Amino acid sequence: MPRKARIDAPGALHHIIVRGIERRKIFYDDPDRNNFLERLGVVLTETGTPCFAWALIPNHLHLLLRTGLTPIATVMRRLLTGYAVSFNHRHHRHGHLFQNRYKSILCQEDLYLLELVRYIHLNPLRARLVKDLKGLDKYPYCGHNVLMGKRKRDWQDADYILKFYASKCSTARRRYRKYVEKGIADGRRSDLTGGGLIRSAGGWSAVKALRRDRMKSDERILGEGDFVETVLKAAQENLERKYELEAQGYNFDWLIKRVAQLLGIEPKDVLAAGKYVKTVKARSLLCYWGVRELGMTTVELAKKVNLAQPTVSQAVSRGKKIAEKQGLNLKKQVNQ
């Protein structure tokens, strides 16, 4: 059976799990872990991707990310490819480092955000990398110690999580830690990492109680039936939108001409080098609509506009602001 396409959208919350091939180690030592975290910080910062929780285990890792303007697939491709190349070079090995595709579960934030933060941050304790909660408070390779104020990582949005517990930081940390402590007895929870309908409903007991044979479910999504249905519908609409544009001939070349027309410049000037105001504005809109409307990745765009991928990510963000400020809506214009 062919694997299903990933589901993503700006603002979506993802629980990402990456495992080593054949359950082998992907982190041998602290230099490996530090290398990964340095890369993670750079990629998240350059793509504007918020991170709420993370944990590094010798043979796998967990991340809790929210999609910004750069698709999660692009973020993970940059992160994992760069780390794999570095890891293989350092340890004089060849071949794949990671097991198949990483798992990415789109999650219903209002129901699962805090549960996922707790579950992910308890991983080092479940893996017996630390003895107890006090050890976890100080463990440097997990986002828990950032929330506890033991270490600062600018790319982890600790404030967003702590504000759910209290406005005062010290009180919030105390309540958060108590919440984490209560989760230790839960052990491993398959409902947070897999299970399709069972996970979406909250376990077998919930499924039996609901007795809803037609309840909407999907293994790529963690949330209630209505949430799952809404996400799938939006994903289908986005896919149809992309195919509709392609079928009507609205490709990258057309997009260049359309941006030039909107800004009153020549098409060749849209891809011109330099930092002239109109050129930067044109490139920004081109990159934004390329990602948003044509479904292109920032890697694809980087090759076409002859810019570095991080620069394209910044252009996408800038283009979004320009389009919103000036009321430019490519979808309406295409349908006119």
Give the pLDDT score at 86.
96
Highest mean pLDDT among 4-8, 210-214, 236-240: 4-8
Residue 336 has pLDDT above 60, yes or no: no
Q: Which residues neighbour 234 within 8 Å (Cβ) at sequence distance 6 or greater?
A: 9
pLDDT at 235: 53
Please tell me what DSSP assigns to residue 243.
H
Q: How far apart are CA 140 and CA 300, in angstroms?
A: 35
State the pTM of this model.
0.68
Mean pLDDT, the chain, rounded, equals 82
**What percent of the chain has a predicted confidence (pLDDT) above 70?**
77
Sign of CA dihedral 107, 109, 110, 115: positive
> Cα(256)–Cα(290) distance, rounded to whole angstroms?
10
Domains with residue ranges and CATH for the chain? 13-193 (3.30.70.1290), 248-335 (1.10.1750.10)
Higher-confidence position of 192 and 288: 288
DSSP secondary structure letter of residue 6: P
Distances (CA, A) of 149 to 45, 116, 307: 20, 19, 38
Distance CA 44, CA 78 (A): 10
Residue pair 266/260 in contact by the 8 Å Cβ criterion: yes
Cα–Cα distance for residue pair 57/130, rounded to 1 Å = 11
Reported as type and span, the H/E element at residue 147 is: helix 144-147
Measured between alpha carbons, how far is 194 from 218 in angstroms, rounded to an integer?
10
Using CA atoms, how far apart are residues 154 and 51, in angstroms rounded to an integer? 10
Report the distance separating Cα 67 and Cα 51, nearest Å: 9
Euclidean distance between CA atoms 164 and 141, whole angstroms: 23
Distances (CA, A) of 292 to 8, 69, 284, 298, 320: 12, 8, 12, 11, 9
Q: Quick one: pLDDT at residue 107?
A: 86
Q: Which residue has the tokens 């980087």?
A: 302
Answer whether residue 200 shows pLDDT above 60: no
